[in-house]
Structure 1
Amino acid sequence: MGGFATTLLSVSLAMMNFRGVFSQTIFMGDLCFVAGIGLLISAQWEMVRGNTFSYTVLSAYALFYGGYGVILIPALGIADAYGGYTPEYHNALGFFVLLWAVFNLFFLLASCTLNIVYILLFLTLELCLVFDAASSFVLADGLVEKSANLMTAAGAFAFVSSLLGYYSVLHYLCQDALPFNVPMGDTSRAWKRWCKKTSSPSLKTDEEMA
């Protein structure tokens, strides 16, 4: 989770054009190695521990970060294949990010059974991806200023999501090494109670019909 949060934080600063930094090329090291390879290795440990949700999330975002980093590598000529930064390129990039927003939506739904921190993390990440995709589509239409505003909004949500990622890191470090816990806002019990309440009427109806 530390690699996820660090990479997302660094990219979010560029998305918000913090201190005049707009290009994300310098962060290819984070994208391809810290997140791409690091998260993939961490995911294997989660599988060993039997934590399939974390394994799926870490593996998915390792591939996402790695793939996004590859797109930014000039030597691969991905932008050149579209004739430069043309409307077609921006539309294609928008599709790439938007489909990951759809994928992330499943993580958001699954996190409802876990804790509040994960819910907020995936919610802010979802908004980041949606605004990022919208920024690419708007830029393809030639609306540069509106695209920049959407990218800034995406960066702000990414920034919040990265901080929630760091909070998760703190939680697990304290859990393993320190004599106190950092709360995550467990929702599993509330979710189970809600499931029982929603399933009870249907069970009664089935019994009455029988």
Structure 2
Amino acid sequence: MSKFSTTDLNSKSSAGTTDVEKQLTHESPTVPIAAPKTLGAGTALPIGVFATTLTTLSLSLMEWRGVTTNNVFVANFFFAAAFGKLPWELSVGNGFAYTVFSAFGLFYAGFGAILTPAFGVEAAYGGDVKQYNNALGFFMIMWTVFALVFLVASLPTNLVYIIIFFCVELGFLLVSASYFATADGHPTSSVGLKKGGGAFCFLAGLTGWYLTFALLLKDSIVELPLGDTSRFFAKRKAE
């Protein structure tokens, strides 16, 4: 019986066969993969929802056409704002926008719960108007602080974002003051402050609509200016 050594087998294998692993490694064609887009249209959804919700709420705050009750906007607060803002920016890794949109979505959901009788928020105060309005003032003032953080964080982005958060900051601040004015028994001042807050929220909503159009149209029709400010806030590298 013939005996073959391991060396003989290896030499015959290398002489008469092809190394399949090496062939696959060295001869497989490289197919270029296009980089994914930033999903500008997807970003436009939470911005559009933000603009829609805030604009309609601002009309009530300004008492246009005699509307002073906000309960009809609960549909926007719970469904459009709460569900239309949360997942989109996370999918493209935009941490700042995800934080902002999620925060405002949760804010609207909470505000909608306050307005919904089934949650019993107003009823829990047993007709104590002063305490109820002071509590609403505290609720709004905390979100005013949060909006201030967003305003500062938006400085390295663009002028459109800065205008939005600046107007939201002033709007929330005035609405907070209006609740405190009601609690202190100053109804005329409260209405004036509320209308002023509504005006700033209205401007923020209109600016949000501009940003929505800019995001939707930039890859198809026209690229609207946003006023880039990032060049003024370049991070300094450690020496």
Give the C-alpha shift of residue 168 in structure 1. 0.8
- Give the superposition deviation at 1:77: 1.5
Question: Aligned partner of 1:187: which letter?
Answer: T
Per the TM alignment, residue 78 of structure 1 is displaced from its structure 2 partner at its CA by: 0.8
Q: Does 1:115 align with 2:158?
A: yes
Q: Which stretch shifts more, 30-39 or 113-122?
A: 30-39
In structure 1, distance between residues paired with 2:127 and 2:56: 25
- 1:17 is the counterpart of 2:63: yes
SS of the residue corresponding to residue 142 of structure 1 reads coil
What is the one-letter code of the residue matched to 1:153?
A: G
Residue 54 (structure 1) shift = 0.6
Shift of 1:190: 1.9
Once superposed, what is the RMSD of the aligned Cα atoms? Answer: 1.5
TM-score, length-normalised on structure 1? 0.88
For these two proteins, the number of residue pairs brought into alignment is: 193
Cα distance in 2 between the residues matched to 1:6 and 1:145: 28
The one-letter code of the counterpart of 2:99 is T
Residues 52-94 of structure 1, C-alpha deviation per residue, up to 9 Å, x if partnerless? 1110001100100000011000122210101136100000000
Match of 1:138 in 2: 181
1:83 aligns to what? 126
Match of 1:46 among 86, 89, 92: 89
How does 1:156-195 map onto structure 2 within 5 Å? 156-176=199-219, 178-192=220-234
Contact 1:79 1:85 in 2 (8 A): no
In 1, distance between residues paired with 2:122 and 2:204?
28
Q: If you compute each CA radius of gyration, which structure gives the higher value, 1 or 2?
A: 2
**Which is helix-richer, 1 or 2?**
1
Q: CA deviation at 1:15?
A: 0.2
- Matches of 1:31 and 1:139, distance apart in 2: 24
Superposed displacement of residue 167, structure 1: 0.7
User: Which residue of the partner structure matches residue 29 of structure 1?
Assistant: 75
Partners of 2:127 and 2:60 lie apart in 1 by 21
**The one of 59, 65, 70 aligned to 2:108:** 65
| Among candidates 108, 114, 136, match of residue 93 of structure 1 | 136
Q: Does 1:3 align with 2:49?
A: yes
Unpaired runs of 5+ in structure 2? 1-46
- Unpaired stretches in structure 1, ≥5 consecutive residues: 204-210
Q: What's the CA shift for 1:165? A: 0.6
Q: Structure 2 counterpart of 1:124, which letter? A: C
The runs of at least 4 consecutive aligned structure 1 residues that moved more than 6 Å come to: none
